[in-house]
Chain A
Amino acid sequence: MSDPLIQVTGLTMGWDDVILQKDATFHVDRGEVFAILGGSGCGKSTMLRNLIGLDPPMGGEISIAGVGHPNLAAGRPPFGVMFQGGALFGSLTVGENVGLQLEEWTKLPHEAIGAVVRAKLKLVGLDGAENKLPSEISGGMKKRAAIARAMALEPDLLFLDEPSAGLDPVSAVELDELILTLNRVLGLTVVLVSHELPSILKIAKRCIMLDKETASIIAEGDPRELRDGSPNPRVHEFFNRLPRAS
């Protein structure tokens, strides 16, 4: 039986007179890896910003853990977010980036925070990178560090914006493995925005596909099943990397 952690109902998003999606309704079950897919400009990142409360939707309702639309100004958010480029603070070391929320939201002593930070970094394969500055590590390492930072407060829910974009194939596969491990071992619910097909097919249990032209969700389900048997030509083109029929 499904146990929705996120419930989105009638979401309309865009800006001014630009409507990216109309009346989008879907849910994300607790403990699943859920992907938001679609071509460029269909509103994937805007949907993510709506979900995490950075931008208000034009209409509709978003509820996370039954609490309603997240209010970031209210304090400690119930989720972690990894931004596309990592968004690590350049003036802080990797360790300080990961420990920032621990200092803010917990009463742990400095030594304990250090221990948690080192453990989180080890978990994401960044053992020993604690004292490096973000400028001294690679793109893949930045993303791993950003995941460690997003997980610092042990959230149940992780939002990932294009986790494997811009990474070499090996780093991308390693990151996929990491996400799967976190999902399987820690029971994390992961919502990711991506258009990296190999990654989606490997890690996502369910997905929705957004379409720019119809401004709607044109497919929902297991990405592997959508690839193999979707009757929708746009979904077929997307999953089979075919040029759009003119």
Chain B
Amino acid sequence: MANPSTAVGSEKPETELRRSCVEPVVHGEHATLALRGRLTFPDAASIWTELRESVAGAKRGEHLDFDMSKVEAVDGGTMALLVHVRGELAARGVIADFVAASENVQALIHLYRGDIQPVRRRKRTHEGTLSEIGRVTLEFFSEVKRVLAFLGDVVMAVLGLLKEPKTGNWKELWPTMERTGADAVPIVVLINFLVGFVMAYQGARQLKQFGANIFVADLVGLSVTRELGPLMTAIILCGRSGAAFAAELGSMKVSEEIDALRTMGFGPVRYLVLPRTLALMLVLPVLTLLGDLVGMLGGVLVGMTSLDLTFGAYLSETHKALQTWDVFSGVIKSVIFGLAIALISCQQGFATTGGAEGVGRRTTASVVTTLFTLILLDAGFTMLFHAFNL
């Protein structure tokens, strides 16, 4: 709250009940609106109301003077309101000026630009539906263009790397694999174990009714190796490593580190994107195999504790149900998932603008886009494998 003591003008404690600071306007060719007393921010709301009511009747072409001769003090906030009302009047064609102000008050009028020609503020027009559609469409196409340009850069960088493998940022590869692979083992193991466990439980309730307990091994084995193992592991890496890539590269982008790389003649894609992409394409299949294994172990636990199956029987049934292709198809998927996670998150990182907020926005976009793409790719693989009877 504004302190009345900071008001410009003579100092006078406010002891009596507040009386109106705005005298009624005497209309005419040259109307006057007299202001009086202490115009301070604690009374701003009532001053604002009185002021607006007083000038409501002013007509286009009328000249209205704000007589400040009886103003004892005025503070910045209230002066801002007065200047605003003057601007509103100007927009209505009423010429309003501050007159007879004391030296101190005049200084404040000058500070708040109340003594210059009011600038007509352009009203921000609400964007029409058609223009909004147009804007969003243009934004969409420019994003598509950015993505295509990025993919083009990646292709060029890969070709350059194949031509001159020594130019690769290989020393970044191993630490990135460690960060995205080895460090992710605990969470991958836990999530996939629980997925296998839950699936076995849900399946067991149905299969028990038909005395087909043993087929829980088929259910868990097939669904984990073909679908859930690769997908869940990819989702974990999307949230864990993909988001980290987007945030890391986004931060580098906003702090001009990527520009610095470019000015040093390094291709940022070759230097930053390729090691990350290669690392994810290498670690995701390994993590997927690990996920498959622990997912099936989750099924074993349910089989042994709830379905009275022995470890040997469960293993034998799994062995019968699974074919090499089931595991291999999951591994193929995981390689492509790794590629998708790395490219999307790096592209989002490279597209970051606008400081910390931009980094957050792009990180979120990276996770959402990657999840959507993973599901889409998974559906695509399922249809493809189905079409070829695989």
Tell me the chain B residues, 110-154 only, with Cβ under 8 Å from chain A.
113, 116
* B contact residues around A90 at 8 Å (CB): 257
| A104 touching B266, Cβ below 8 Å | yes
The answer to whether B263 and A85 have CB atoms under 8 Å apart is: no
Is A73 a contact partner of B264 (Cβ separation < 8 A)? no
| Interface SS of chain A | loop
Contacts of B266 in A (CB 8 A): 100, 104
The count of A-to-B residue pairs whose CB atoms sit within 8 angstroms is 46
Which of B252, B257, B263 interacts with A52 by CB under 8 Å? B263
Number of interface residues of B (CB under 8 A): 14
Which B residues are within 8 Å of any A CB, using their own CB?
113, 116, 252, 255-257, 259-260, 262-267
Q: Which of A54, A75, A89 sits near B265, CB closer than 8 Å? A: A75
**15 A-B interface contacts by CB (under 8 A):** A53-B263, A72-B263, A73-B267, A83-B256, A83-B260, A84-B256, A85-B256, A87-B257, A89-B257, A89-B260, A101-B264, A101-B265, A104-B266, A246-B113, A246-B116
Q: Are B260 and A104 in contact (CB under 8 A)?
A: no
Which chain A residues border B263 with CB–CB below 8 Å? 52-54, 72, 77, 79-81
Chain A residue numbers with a CB within 8 Å of B252 are 89
Chain B: CB-nearest residue to A55:
B259
Interface size on A, residues (CB 8 A): 25
Residues on the B chain within 8 Å of A202, using CB: none
Interface of chain B, main secondary structure: loop
Kindly provide the distance from the CB of A222 to the nearest chain B CB, expressed in whole angstroms: 29
Contact residues of A with B, CB < 8 Å? 49, 52-54, 72-73, 75-77, 79-81, 83-85, 87-90, 100-101, 104-105, 149, 246
Q: Which one of A53, A85, A104, A246 contacts B264 once the chains associate, using CB atoms below 8 Å? A: A104
Asked if A54 and B262 make an inter-chain contact with CB atoms under 8 angstroms apart, the answer reads yes
Bound CA–CA A228/B113 (angstroms)? 31
How many angstroms between the C-alpha atoms of A38 and B214 in the bound complex?
79
Q: Output the least CB separation between B342 and chain A (Å).
A: 18
Chain A residues with CB below 8 A from B264, complex form: 77, 100-101, 104, 149
Contacting pair B267 A85 (CB below 8 A): no
Are A87 and B265 touching (Cβ within 8 A)?
no
Give complex CA distance A149, B265 in Å: 13
Closest residue on chain A to residue B264 by CB atoms: A101
- Chain A's closest residue to B113 (CB) is A246
* Bound Cα distance from A9 to B256, whole angstroms: 27
Are the CB atoms of A72 and B265 closer together than 8 Å? yes
**Nearest-CB distance from A194 to chain B (Å)?**
17
CA distance A75 to B263 in the complex (A): 9
Docked Cα-Cα span, A104 to B266, in Å, equals 8
Q: Within 8 Å CB of B113, what residues of A?
A: 246
Q: Which residue from chain A places its CB closest to the CB of B265 in the assembled complex?
A: A76
- A77–B255 CB distance below 8 A: no
Q: Closest residue to B258 on the A side, CB-wise? A: A87
- Name the distance in Å between B355's Cβ and chain A's nearest Cβ: 12
Cβ-defined contact, B265 with A81, below 8 A: no
Contact A81 B267 (CB under 8 A): no
Q: Is the CB of B265 within 8 A of A105?
A: yes
Contact present for A87 and B256 (CB under 8 Å) = yes
**CA A74 – CA B252 in complex, angstroms?**
22
* Seed contacts A53-B263, A83-B259, A83-B260; 13 additional CB < 8 Å A-B pairs: A52-B263, A72-B262, A76-B265, A77-B264, A77-B265, A79-B263, A81-B260, A85-B256, A87-B259, A89-B260, A100-B264, A101-B264, A104-B265
**Min C-beta distance of B21 to chain A, whole Å:** 29
Inter-chain contacts of B256 with A (CB < 8 A): 83-85, 87
Residue of A nearest to B266 (CB): A104
Q: Shortest distance in angstroms between B259's beta carbon and chain A's nearest beta carbon?
A: 5
Choose among B257, B266, B267 the residue with the greatest number of A CB atoms under 10 Å from its CB: B257
Chain A's closest residue to B259 (CB) is A54
CA distance A79 to B257 in the complex (A): 17
CA gap between A110 and B113 in the complex, in Å = 64
- Nearest-neighbor residue (CB-CB) of B251 within chain A: A90
Shortest beta-carbon contacts, A-B, top 9: A87-B260, A87-B256, A81-B263, A83-B256, A76-B265, A72-B262, A87-B257, A101-B264, A77-B265
